[in-house]
A and B are shown apart, each in its own frame.
Chain A
């Protein structure tokens, strides 16, 4: 079955760096765009970043722009999130999510249909 598994979370000091990884299986990874979404403790969902299926296009939330970099290696079926200059407010569970698409009457409807279980990042001194 389609599956995403995140790894790489941990405790890091403010100003530090961390690289998250997301391993995909059960679907053709190179055909799909993938998102990172995070959730701070006790808070709602926050969209973080997206990368197109071939890596040619990327988008970021303003809160992480210039500090985080999303990338992928389609030969390894892996997605990455390089997080630099980490702040306390980056503390969260980070999920990767596959972007699905449905076409109805020539309109493209996107959604996030497969999610990993998440990896926890804690930024604290």
Chain B
């Protein structure tokens, strides 16, 4: 069964608004979560690494003030896209490791469309 969930699965918003995406680990604690963005027919691009109780580490070129990441608990990380614009429309996916294994488990993804 699924080990990582995301909510919502899809969201449509107006330009200039903020959108929050949740990523939850199911039945286990996730001290580290990764956030990816995927444009149509492209690969996954890592945006940031989220560590529980500390600041996220952003990849080069990712605006940390635009993509706010909060990892306040061992089972929940959130990505907030602030002042969203049409170019932020994408498929956002989170992932994490489950303790003791090096496999990354990916969430089902969130489709964001900014009008």
Q: Do A and B bind? A: no
Binding site for B on A (CB under 8 A): none
Q: Which residues of B contact A (CB under 8 A)?
A: none
